[in-house]
Copies of this chain bind each other. A is one copy, B any other.
Amino acid sequence: MLFKVEMTVNIPYGMPANEIEEIKSREKAYSQQLQRDGKWRHIWRIAGLYANVSIFDVDDAEELHQILMALPLYPFMDIRIEALCRHPSSIHSNDR
């Protein structure tokens, strides 16, 4: 099942630089593992913003929730979610 997730990151002023780098590093590794697993199908940067548009391919909302709550940057994210389904005009039977 597909979900579009938009994440915007807001790092609090005064957070130590090495702490930020350590979290970002864990975030990247975590994201890439999920991409390799086929759960995080797409991730695009929104131009000019510390934000992304992502497509997740998960079993259900529960799995999506567990994945997002484990994001190292989650406490600093504003997140918007929409469930997707196949569009009747799509030329693909299963566009993921």
In A52-81, which residues have CB < 8 Å from any B CB? 52-53, 55, 60-62, 64-65, 68-69, 75-76, 79, 81
**Nearest-CB residue, chain B, relative to A53:** B4
Distance from A43 Cβ to chain B, minimum over Cβ atoms (Å) = 5
Asked whether any CB of chain B lies closer than 8 Å to the CB of A22, the reply is no
How often does this chain occur in the complex, in copies? 10
Contact in complex: A53, B82 (CB < 8 Å): yes
Residues of A contacting B: mostly: mixed
Return the CB mask of A1-42 against B: 1 if under 8 Å, else 0.
Answer: 111110000011111000000000001100110011000001
Give the interface size bracket for A toward B: 35 or more
With A32-B91, A60-B1 known as contacts, the answer to whether A65 contacts B44 (CB < 8 A) is no
Asked whether any CB of chain B lies closer than 8 Å to the CB of A93, the reply is no
Report the separation of the CA atoms of residues A50 and B47 in the bound assembly, to the nearest whole angstrom: 22
**6 contacting pairs across A/B (C-beta < 8 A):** A36-B91, A47-B61, A47-B65, A47-B82, A52-B87, A62-B85
